[in-house]
Amino acid sequence: KQEVTQIPAALSVPEGENLVLNCSFTDSAIYNLQWFRQDPGKGLTSLLLIQSSQREQTSGRLNASLDKSSGRSTLYIAASQPGDSATYLCAPQSGNTPLVFGKGTRLSVIA
């Protein structure tokens, strides 16, 4: 059964810093991996999806990398802004099984 761990659990940084969020998963036989953000009391917003054949994906200030063989993914956020404050979730997908989530990293960017 897939298990997902995200480190750190919480992170507080001043505005402008570059930061890295880490995700590890136990079953490396994945089809793809998604990163989401969740604002308090809200649903999920998909940020990036990396196919298993890809090593990274970029969207604006976000860059996600995937090392499938070692069961790791990182989300890099450049020049962080207060509006980036949210919980970030990674979710690997194995075949037709549903997405499995970690507990997320709660990010706070202080102006």
Partner 1 sequence: GAVVSQHPSWVICKSGTSVKIECRSLDFQATTMFWYRQFPKQSLMLMATSNEGSKATYEQGVEKDKFLINHASLTLSTLTVTSAHPEDSSFYICSARGGLAGLAYNEQFFGPGTRLTVL
Residues that bind partner 1 in the complex, under the rule CB under 8 A = 31-32, 34, 36, 41-44, 46, 49, 89, 93, 96, 98-104
Q: How far is the CB of 33 from partner 1 (least distance, A)?
A: 11
Amino acid at 109: V
Which H/E stretch holds residue 76?
strand 72-77
Measured CA to CA, the distance from residue 22 to residue 28 in angstroms comes to 15
The torsion angles phi and psi of 16, rounded to 5 degrees, stand at: 100, -15
Return the structure tokens found at 93. 């997908």
Return the structure tokens found at 54. 């890809």
Q: How far is the CB of 24 from partner 1 (least distance, A)?
A: 15
**42/55 with CB nearer partner 1:** 42
**10/110 with CB nearer partner 1:** 10
**71/104 with CB nearer partner 1:** 104
Q: How far is the CB of 103 from partner 1 (least distance, A)?
A: 5
